[in-house]
Amino acid sequence: MSTPALHPPRVRAGETLGIALESVRTHRMRSLLTVLGIWIGIASVTLTVGLGQGAQAQVAAQIDSLGSNLLVVSPGSSTTGGVRGGRGTATTLTTADATALADPAVAPDIAHVAPVRTSSSVLTQGTTTWTTTVTATTPDWLGVRARTLSAGRFLTAADETTAAHVLVLGDTTVSELGLRTGVGSTVTLGGTAFTVVGVLAASGSTGTTDEDDLAVTPMSTADQVVGSTTTGSVSSIYLEAASGDRLSAAYQEAYAALATRHDTGATGTAGTGTTGTRAGTTTTGGTGGTTGTVDFSITSQQSLVQAATATSKTLTILLAGVAGISLLVGGIGVMNIMLVSVSERIREIGLRKALGAPPALIRRQFLAEACLLSLAGGVLGLGTGYLGAWLLPALIGQPVTISLPASFGALGVALAVGVVAGVYPASRAARLAPIDALRSD
């Protein structure tokens, strides 16, 4: 009569998890120190990536606030006494160029055009004086630059036609002149009295430039009062594309139109619409183009966003790598603790194997403990990251953006750390011979 085969006891996943929980609870302090390494690592990575994403969003928003679907045409460089000036020092752009670009037959993908001439002038209100930037432009400037009004109105076509002595002031300028209401006040510019008809809503600063310290007046009025070294010349021309997906086409149309008007000989297409052509340099046109020298440059918001975003991404990756080192240290801590746990529980392992527990069961038990510790550290680290994202903006003035995919990714990383850190200790425990384990003191 044959004896029945002995089968190893079957242990369910719930029982394995219960044993792991009991082991963690029994060694509270050791478990807490193990969790702490993963906790700090996940929180560091989460906050670092969140700070990087917040910085990218902030830069993109600041650049976008300068105007939607914006292209900026700047004049070339001037040469005085054999010395070349920087870009924008020449007077190669005119109001006639702006008029040509506003023609739908010439540039159908350009929705609005706003020529701009800037100069520094003194405004006087009573006994108070203030030197500010006087911007001479047309009514389309408000929409092209994506600005809004806090009071009054903006320039109108009638103001431009009649060369009306009206001003629209920035919030900073109103404050510095000590104007209480702004709208309706009389301000002297160039010895001529101007009426303030509107006040721009606050826009903030761009780098070292205060976007709220300016006075806007009609181009025709500036020609009479402020004056210009060259009649009809402008400092730059702002172009707004009809939509974001037509920005590249608007770029090509503007480049071709200006190259033809200025007779530069650069008859081909220029670039892809994301970067401008450096003024005063020799460029080669696209397919079928010829070589010529342009006296203007065109830049887009996309190029600025791409450059700023690339810089922010590089810094984010660098900082995340540094923070990831702490996560690696935490994983090594988990492995060390699990090795200690195996050493302390050799007799327990031997007894379980003598009772029929297969190596896979022993391996699964220690893996469960390692994953439990890492997952607990991941959850706590993620919670700390969200708490930091809520508190830090008020303390450092920098937004922190934590996305949901990044959160799930952090938990996945914590679990992966637990698996990797627990494989060796679990395998070592599974390989122990029952007789040697039971003999151990």
Q: Are residues 118 and 223 in the same domain?
A: yes
Give the pairing type, strands 128-137 and 214-218. parallel
Residue 288 domain-assigned?
no
Torsion sign, CA atoms 100, 111, 223, 280: negative
Q: Are residues 328 and 387 in the same domain?
A: yes
Residue 151 domain-assigned?
yes
Residue 196 domain-assigned?
yes
Q: What is the pTM of this model?
A: 0.57
Q: Which residues contact 264 (CB under 8 A, 6 or more apart)?
A: 292, 293, 294, 295
Q: Are residues 112 and 228 in the same domain?
A: yes
Q: Please give the chain's pLDDT, 441 residues, in tens.
A: 444 444 555 556 666 677 777 777 777 787 787 788 788 888 888 888 888 778 777 776 666 655 558 888 988 654 444 444 445 445 678 889 999 999 999 999 999 999 999 888 999 998 899 999 999 999 999 988 888 899 999 999 999 999 999 999 999 999 999 887 778 899 999 889 999 999 999 876 665 678 889 999 999 898 887 655 556 788 899 998 888 788 888 989 999 998 888 876 544 444 444 444 333 333 333 333 333 467 788 887 666 666 666 776 777 777 777 767 777 777 777 777 777 777 777 777 777 777 777 777 777 877 888 888 888 888 898 889 889 888 888 888 778 888 777 778 777 877 887 778 777 777 777 777 766 656 665
Residue 401, token pair as written in the block: 């953006």
What pLDDT is attached to residue 108? 92
Helical (H) or strand (E) element with 94: none
Question: Of 173, 201, 234, which marks where a domain is finished?
Answer: 234
Residue 32 domain-assigned?
yes
Residue 286 domain-assigned?
no
Residue 72 domain-assigned?
no
Phi and psi torsions of 113, nearest 5°: -130, 135
What pLDDT is attached to residue 282? 33
Q: Are residues 432 and 342 in the same domain?
A: yes
What pLDDT is attached to residue 208? 64
Number of domains comprising the chain:
2
Q: Are residues 55 and 165 in the same domain?
A: no
What pLDDT is attached to residue 330? 75
Q: Are residues 225 and 149 in the same domain?
A: yes
Which residue range(s) make up the domain with 43? Answer: 13-62+306-439
What pLDDT is attached to residue 290? 36
Nearest to residue 71, comparing CAs of 311, 223, 228, 257?
257
DSSP string, 306-340: HHHHHHHHHHHHHHHHHHHHHHHHHHHHHHHHHHH
Q: Are residues 428 and 346 in the same domain?
A: yes
Question: Of 182, 212, 234, which marks where a domain is finished?
Answer: 234
What pLDDT is attached to residue 281? 35
Report helix, strand or coil for 73: strand
Residue 269 domain-assigned?
no
Q: Are residues 215 and 313 in the same domain?
A: no
Q: 250 near 302, Cβ under 8 Å?
A: no
Q: Are residues 126 and 167 in the same domain?
A: yes
In tens, the pLDDT along 136-190 reads 999 999 988 888 899 999 999 999 999 999 999 999 999 999 887 778 899 999 8
The 10 Å CB-count burial string (b at 16+, else e) for 324-341 is eebbeebbebbbebbbeb
Name the β-bridge partners of 218. Answer: 137
Q: Are residues 349 and 395 in the same domain?
A: yes
Question: Of 171, 200, 234, which marks where a domain is finished?
Answer: 234
Residue 160 domain-assigned?
yes
Q: Are residues 202 and 315 in the same domain?
A: no
Residue 17, token pair as written in the block: 């998890």
Q: Are residues 219 and 103 in the same domain?
A: yes
The 10 Å CB-count burial string (b at 16+, else e) for 82-106 is eeeeebbbbbbbbbebbebbbeeeb
Residue found under tokens 């033809």: 260
Nearest to residue 55, comparing CAs of 438, 411, 400?
400
